[in-house]
Chain A
Amino acid sequence: MPALGSPLRLLTRLDRRTCDLDDLVAAATRLAATGVPGLCLQVEDDVRRPALLVEEDERLWRVDLADLADELPSTGADLGPAGLDRALREHLTRRPATDAEAARRGVAVLAWAGPAGDDLAWQVAVARGDRLVGWAPHPFTSALDVLAVREAARARAADVVVRCTVEGPVLLLDADAPLLATAALAAPEQVVARSAELGLLLADGSVVVTPGRPVAWAPRAVAARLAGEGVEPCVLLPWRELADLPWV
């Protein structure tokens, strides 16, 4: 006979909150009526697939409200009207970055790319709150503009303040925002010069890169030892090849 405590605990775990789609559509309509500066919001009130269309400069983003209603209860957010308003506004920070925003604030970081998602590539990313949103060039953006945005992002990445920690023969590069840690690799020569001052010989070294985590820089054998047989996916490459990585 099970103890009296366990069935009661099971009942609370089975209690699933659901987000009512009509409430979410009403919240979206309220948000569209209030308006957000810089964005043009429009609610597509289809019975089966209601959506919120967000238009900003040249980008059009479609938020499927049915999918959002499925996701919201698992985030633990409050599901009353005020909570839904807050959740919608917070979801708006995930909208894609526009060309103007990327030109003004984009930073070059390393990200997973390629068909299997296991190759590294440089990407221009815009920081929104505590999240990084990647920038994809619009099909109508001219090639010169794309190059200008990438160069500006690379220059900004070289300016990111990087914390260097020395751990024996390994140099660890970290930034205040953990997702920006790989930005330091936009100007690897600076790091090599700095490490020579600290007494480390990293000129022949390799870099262990995991996008979103601090970067480890060490001589080749030590870096291979660091990266070998790890559970997390990472890429080990000589630092001179960093500049040759493609752009997303």
Chain B
Amino acid sequence: MSMVYEQSTRVVLVPHWLSAADRDALATSLEEALTRADLPATTADRLVDVLTELHVARARDVVWPSSTARVRLVTGWDPDTLPVRLSAMELACTLSLPELTPPVRAALTGGRSL
């Protein structure tokens, strides 16, 4: 039983806006990395979570399209740009992969500007 005054920290998921091409490239590099033999098990778990999150982002857009549509209206991005919500550990595991292509790496670190 935890003390009353202890705050239970929740994992914060930060949205990263990725276009369809970025998401496909990310999925390909994740699948390549998962077939590697020397990948640590914890990293593999988190990469599987990122793969799930790519599907979940599309499902979220089907069920609640209006909030992402509003953002896309203001910024003028493509209609298939979706926010992918990653925790800090998942982002770190993804960025540590050498298979990650430079455009996806830039999209995940710098944020979209076009």
A residues lining the B interface (CB < 8 Å): 165, 167-170, 172, 174, 208, 210, 213-216, 218, 222, 225-226, 228-232, 234
Residues of chain B in range 38-83 having any CB-CB distance to chain A below 8 Å: 51-56, 58-60, 62-64, 66-67
Across the A-B interface, give the 10 residue pairs with the lowest CB-CB distance, nearest first.
A168-B55, A170-B59, A167-B59, A232-B64, A231-B67, A167-B55, A226-B56, A167-B58, A213-B63, A214-B63
Q: Is B13 part of the contact surface with A, judged by Cβ < 8 Å? A: yes
Structural contact, A222 and B13, CB atoms closer than 8 A: no
Q: A210-B64, A231-B67 are in contact. Are A172 and B59 (CB under 8 A)?
A: yes
B54 — which chain A residues lie within 8 A by C-beta? 168
The residue from B52, B53, B58, B67 contacting A232, defined by CB atoms under 8 A apart: B67
Q: What is the interface residue range for chain B against chain A?
A: 10 to 19
The residue from A168, A214, A234 contacting B62, defined by CB atoms under 8 A apart: A214
Q: A228-B13, A229-B13 are in contact. Are A208 and B56 (CB under 8 A)?
A: no
A174 — which chain B residues lie within 8 A by C-beta? 62
B85 — which chain A residues lie within 8 A by C-beta? 225, 229
Q: Is the interface of B mostly helix, strand, loop or mixed?
A: helix
Q: A214-B62, A232-B64, A232-B67 are in contact. Are A168 and B56 (CB under 8 A)?
A: yes
Give 21 CB contacts A-B under 8 Å: A167-B62, A168-B51, A168-B55, A169-B55, A170-B55, A170-B56, A170-B59, A172-B59, A208-B63, A213-B64, A216-B62, A216-B63, A218-B59, A222-B52, A225-B13, A225-B53, A225-B85, A226-B56, A226-B63, A229-B13, A230-B64
How many Å from the CB of A235 to the closest CB on chain B? 12
How many Å from the CB of A121 to the closest CB on chain B? 20
Structural contact, B63 and A168, CB atoms closer than 8 A: no
B59 — which chain A residues lie within 8 A by C-beta? 167-168, 170, 172, 216, 218, 226
How many Å from the CB of B20 to the closest CB on chain A? 14
Structural contact, B67 and A168, CB atoms closer than 8 A: no
How many Å from the CB of A172 to the closest CB on chain B? 5
How many Å from the CB of A38 to the closest CB on chain B? 37
A222 — which chain B residues lie within 8 A by C-beta? 52, 56
Q: Determine the distance from Cα of A91 to Cα of B72 in the docked complex, in whole angstroms.
A: 34
Q: Determine the distance from Cα of A226 to Cα of B53 in the docked complex, in whole angstroms.
A: 8
How many Å from the CB of B54 to the closest CB on chain A? 7
Select from chain B the residue with minimum beta-carbon distance to A167: B59
B63 — which chain A residues lie within 8 A by C-beta? 172, 208, 210, 213-216, 226, 234
How many Å from the CB of A43 to the closest CB on chain B? 40
Select from chain A the residue with minimum beta-carbon distance to B11: A228
Q: Determine the distance from Cα of A215 to Cα of B58 in the docked complex, in whole angstroms.
A: 13
Select from chain B the residue with minimum beta-carbon distance to A210: B63
How many Å from the CB of B9 to the closest CB on chain A? 14
